[in-house]
Structure 1
Amino acid sequence: MTEQTWNAFTVERKDRVAQVTLIGPGKGNAQGPDFWRELPLIFAELDADPEVRAVVLAGSGKHFSFGLDLAAMAPMMAPVLGDKAQAAPRTAFHDDIKKMQRSINAVADCRKPVVAAIQGWCIGGAVDLVTAADIRYASADAKFSIREVKVAIVADMGTLARLPAIIGDGHMRELALTGKDIDAARAEKIGLVNDVFADADAVLAAAHATAAEIAANPPLVVHGIKDVLDHSRSAGVDDSLRYVAAWNAAFLASEDIGEAMAAVFQKRTPDFKGR
């Protein structure tokens, strides 16, 4: 496979394990246009590479990812945020949501098992990303938040579809409806992560150790295990993703989302009116 240079990631391969690392370019590895464009291309290549048998997904720097880069993605959202948005911009926005969902789906659908190594903040769209992984490890300083509710958005990239099977319905509803932050210890307690390690180096080493164990097993059997495990829930995930894409295309526009965006950029608490 020809190595490529990516804007939002680095990809390294060694001993049948690939490491995909988020590198920005936004602050805190925020998910901007390059992230959404490159992610499915990278995982399609890794899925097709016979020399890769497992993938480690990591973040560079102090944090895994701050989630959606609101400033960079604003041009995509702007046409439907006005009070006169008609069918054409809403249809285009619906198409954009589906395209972004396919980016996260590429991680979940990869036949090579994916082990996420999470340090620091894992917010919003970053939770979407790690719920698409097969196994999640965290450093002791990791913090998680399904933050979309705080910016007047229904999470639409997979968290609401995949996380109930990981942590259960009650924990899922608590996190999604409050937008609260939880630390690594709570994340481990509710099953969001498999294990917690001392620091970023330790969690990355653990992820590679598990990936190496997987890579040593018969690859066709590993693919089969993933396929069987995913089969029973794939229809539900697909249905949920289709529904939330339609919901947000229809109902995302509100005074509250405008207030949320303004509050983010002005660094203040938003005042939501339910309009």
Structure 2
Amino acid sequence: MKSLQIHKNTDAVAELELIGPGRGNAMGPDFWKELPGAIAELESDQSLRAVIIRGSGEHFSYGLDLPAMASEMGAMLGDGAPGRCQIIDKAVRMHQGFAAIAASHLPMIAAIDGWCIGAGIELIAACDIRVATARARFALREIKVGIVSDLGGIQRLPHLVGEGWARQIALTGEDFDAEQAQRIGLITRIDPNAKHMLEAAYSLASRIAANPPLVVAGVKRTMNERIEAEVAAGNRAAATRNALLLQSEDFAEAMRAFMEKREPKFVGR
């Protein structure tokens, strides 16, 4: 795989590592193609009881790799109604990876160091438990690039942090630190550095792995049953909205501003 690596350092616990190739483990076309298969590979290992998901290097993930996705999305945007249908279909396919994390019988622990932006937050929201380092930073910035978050984040976040905080995170697109993430319930613990965080994640995974696996899977799926039905419907609605919003002047301005490293000027068209 080009974007993910699986490491198995103990009998019962594996790591799924985000390795790019985009800067800051940004999620490009390879990531979206490979993630469902990576989860299926982990699930096929009968000895596994839990998975830790982490980023390589200094950051968890910068989120969607906009430059890598630009050519594919650009072709769709220039094709009128058929292109809009392709955008919806593409979004639905991208949903499959995070849905697989949530639906897996294996508990997933996100271990977050450095930046966790956009689709990065949507990934960790699909996990069961989240731990982080003191230097971790978070942001759901889709609103700042002219689109609706459409990978399950705005459906899952209210169940994690409450409706008020979820709306503030989604509507402002503002950054927040590990202390705030713990205060609102997005993460359950803060460690001083990546080494200590990974040790804590393994300890947590091992404690989960000591429980009966069929019951662990049953608890996870029972807790997720109502939420995931809501996520699927919300993702489809968001994808349909984005098929229109991606044609807007504000989205084009957001992309220009991103490439030119300046603040966008939105006009509501």
**If the length of structure 2 is used for normalisation, what is the TM-score?**
0.97
Opposite residue 11 of structure 1, the aligned amino acid is I
Separation of aligned partners in 2, 1:262 and 1:248: 18
* Aligned residue number for residue 264 of structure 1: 258
Q: CA deviation at 1:80?
A: 4.5
SS of 1:68 mapped into structure 2: coil
Higher mean displacement: 245-254 or 176-185: 245-254
Opposite residue 245 of structure 1, the aligned amino acid is A
Verify the 8 A CA contact 1:76 1:93 in the aligned structure 2. no
Percent of aligned positions that are identical: 47
2:41 to 24, 30, 45: 45
Matches within 5 A, 1:1-275: 6-13=1-8, 14-82=10-78, 85-275=79-269
5+ residue gaps, structure 2, are none
Q: CA deviation at 1:76?
A: 2.5
5+ residue gaps, structure 1, are 1-5
Opposite residue 249 of structure 1, the aligned amino acid is A
Q: CA deviation at 1:158?
A: 0.9
Verify the 8 A CA contact 1:81 1:254 in the aligned structure 2. no
**If the length of structure 1 is used for normalisation, what is the TM-score?**
0.95
- Listed one character per residue, the Cα deviations across residues 148-177 of structure 1 (whole Å, up to 9, x for unaligned) are 111111111110111110001100111111
Separation of aligned partners in 1, 2:118 and 2:2: 21
Verify the 8 A CA contact 1:117 1:204 in the aligned structure 2. yes
Opposite residue 54 of structure 1, the aligned amino acid is A
- Listed one character per residue, the Cα deviations across residues 120-139 of structure 1 (whole Å, up to 9, x for unaligned) are 00000100100000000010
Verify the 8 A CA contact 2:77 2:84 in the aligned structure 1. no
Opposite residue 252 of structure 1, the aligned amino acid is L
Q: CA deviation at 1:44?
A: 1.1
Verify the 8 A CA contact 2:77 2:83 in the aligned structure 1. no
Q: CA deviation at 1:48?
A: 2.4
Runs of 4+ in 1 over 4 A off after TM superposition: none
Separation of aligned partners in 2, 1:47 and 1:115: 15
Verify the 8 A CA contact 2:245 2:251 in the aligned structure 1. no
Aligned residues: 268
- Listed one character per residue, the Cα deviations across residues 176-231 of structure 1 (whole Å, up to 9, x for unaligned) are 11100000000000001111110111111111111111111111111111111111
Compute the RMSD of aligned alpha carbons. 1.1
Opposite residue 28 of structure 2, the aligned amino acid is G
Separation of aligned partners in 2, 1:10 and 1:70: 22
Separation of aligned partners in 2, 1:266 and 1:86: 27
